[in-house]
């Protein structure tokens, strides 16, 4: 890839950020730290939210009109950080300009729309990456290199387990009018699926069989948990399970993940549960999941430090994988080198696999892969 060419004679990246909520704020604040960002523009449908972030980051341009932002001559790259169900329009608008893109996952929550977005990205030759922050945790980067180096031989089995408390459900679904595709797999299980597929690079799923239950969260229009098993084209087995129905007082701020990888000559066992540093206090701890307008339904007095996926604040600055992910993307734009970011094609694949897993759970049948987006939509 080639570095971004600056607009209007500016000597750096002109960044347009669409969506000024929790994650958009983090990306914007990190942008203001990076010397390669010459211009920062913000857009959000909520004028007050946009203006506040514009003030806090000394943004050069703030608007509620996405098109007005993208049409600015200073813009050379775009971050889309809107809510999950609102990605398609701003992404397609940015693609029409040919800007490099950073898109918070997923490309879309509708499989047909996701395929259309991917087709547009590829047809226009756009360099688009998807926000899978776990790829920038040191333990996973190290594991990836060990696998590249063949340190455990050929991988034959991968097992993952993800546990989350219900605050993500409450915060995410309370903002959505249509919850039909907002399942634990599509919204959150996609992270552990992406990580496992990244670590199994070169292996292709040919079948998935899954089961779900909805004892607690059925009234929210979603599932409590989904468990499934994939068969890969070379016979490798990949099992994964996610529950986002744990009590709101569960000490993990958001995500706890365990992965076991068995090879012909060794094994890698990863515990990304953050149980190594625990705070227990009479003083209520931060809610963990942070989202616009969200108030935690109960106080948490025990916390697994480091379990908030973006990272943690120290002395007013965010430290952790989202810093690495964002700044590495800025360097990708400036220098043109390859990075660990998920591609748009991988993002679409992840959506298709999570939805195929949900379909198997609904029908009680194994699903042959690959499956067409239209088949998933009809189902």
For 127-186, give the DSSP string: -EEEE-GGGGSHHHHHHHHHHHTTTT-SEEEEEEEEEEETHHHHHHHTT-S--TT--HII
Q: Which of 26, 21, 19, 17 is nearest to 312 (CA)?
A: 26
CB 343 within 8 A of CB 130: yes
**Domain boundaries 139-309, corresponding CATH code:** 3.30.360.10
The CA radius of gyration of the chain, in Å to the nearest whole number, is: 20
- List, in order, residues 6 or more apart from 90 with CB less than 8 Å away: 18, 19, 43, 66, 78, 80, 82
Kindly list the domain boundaries of the chain, sorted by start residue: 13-134+325-343, 139-309
Q: How many CA atoms lie within 13 A of 37 on its CB side?
A: 26
pLDDT at 131 over 80: yes
Task: Please compute the mean of the pLDDT values over residues 356-370 and round it to a whole number.
Answer: 96
Q: Per residue in 28-79, pLDDT tens?
A: 999 999 999 999 999 999 999 999 999 999 999 999 999 999 999 999 999 9
Q: Which of 293, 287, 277, 294 is nearest to 249 (CA)?
A: 287
Q: Per residue in 308-348, pLDDT tens?
A: 889 998 998 999 999 999 999 999 999 998 999 999 999 99
pLDDT at 4 over 90: no
Tokens of 105: 């996952």
**Domain boundaries 13-134+325-343, corresponding CATH code:** 3.40.50.720
Residue in the block written with tokens 């608007």 = 63
pTM: 0.92
How far apart, in whole angstroms, are the C-alpha atoms of residue 210 and residue 359?
8
How far apart, in whole angstroms, are the C-alpha atoms of residue 68 and residue 39?
15
Q: Per residue in 344-354, pLDDT tens?
A: 999 999 999 99
CB 15 within 8 A of CB 332: no
Q: Per residue in 150-186, pLDDT tens?
A: 999 999 999 999 999 888 788 777 776 666 677 888 8
């Amino acid at each position: 890839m080639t570095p971004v060419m600056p607009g209007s004679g500016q000597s750096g990246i002109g960044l347009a950020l669409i969506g000024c909520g929790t994650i958009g704020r983090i990306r914007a604040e990190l942008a203001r730290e990076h010397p390669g960002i010459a211009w920062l523009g913000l857009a959000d449908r909520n004028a007050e939210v946009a203006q506040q972030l514009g003030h806090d980051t000394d943004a050069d341009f703030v608007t509620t009109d996405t098109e007005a932002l993208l049409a600015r001559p200073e813009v050379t790259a775009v971050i889309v950080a809107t809510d999950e169900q609102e990605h398609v329009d701003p992404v397609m608008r940015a693609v029409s300009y040919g800007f490099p893109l950073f898109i918070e996952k997923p490309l879309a929550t509708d499989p047909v729309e996701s395929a259309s977005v991917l087709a547009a990205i590829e047809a226009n030759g756009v360099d688009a990456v998807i926000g899978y922050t776990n790829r920038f945790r040191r333990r996973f980067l190290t594991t990836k290199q060990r696998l590249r180096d063949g340190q455990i031989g050929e991988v034959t089995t991968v097992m993952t387990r993800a546990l989350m408390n219900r605050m993500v459900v409450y915060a995410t679904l309370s903002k959505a009018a249509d919850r039909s595709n907002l399942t634990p797999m599509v919204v959150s299980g996609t992270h552990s699926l992406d990580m496992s597929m990244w670590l199994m690079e070169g292996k292709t799923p040919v079948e998935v069989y899954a089961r779900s239950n909805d004892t607690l969260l059925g009234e929210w229009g979603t599932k409590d948990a989904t468990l499934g098993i994939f068969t890969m084209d070379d016979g490798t087995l990949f099992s994964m399970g996610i529950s986002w129905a744990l009590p709101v007082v569960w000490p993990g701020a958001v995500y706890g993940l365990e992965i076991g990888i068995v090879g012909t000559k060794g094994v890698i066992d990863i515990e990304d549960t953050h149980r190594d540093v625990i705070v227990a206090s009479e003083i209520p701890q931060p809610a963990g999941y942070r989202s616009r307008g969200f108030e935690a339904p109960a106080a948490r007095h025990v916390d697994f430090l480091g379990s908030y996926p973006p990272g943690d604040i120290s002395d007013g600055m965010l430290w952790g994988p989202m810093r690495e992910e964002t700044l590495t993307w800025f360097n990708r734009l400036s220098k043109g080198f390859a990075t660990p970011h998920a591609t748009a094609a991988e993002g679409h694949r992840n959506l298709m696999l999570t939805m195929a897993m949900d379909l198997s759970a609904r029908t009680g049948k194994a699903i042959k892969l690959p499956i067409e987006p239209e088949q998933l939509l009809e189902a």
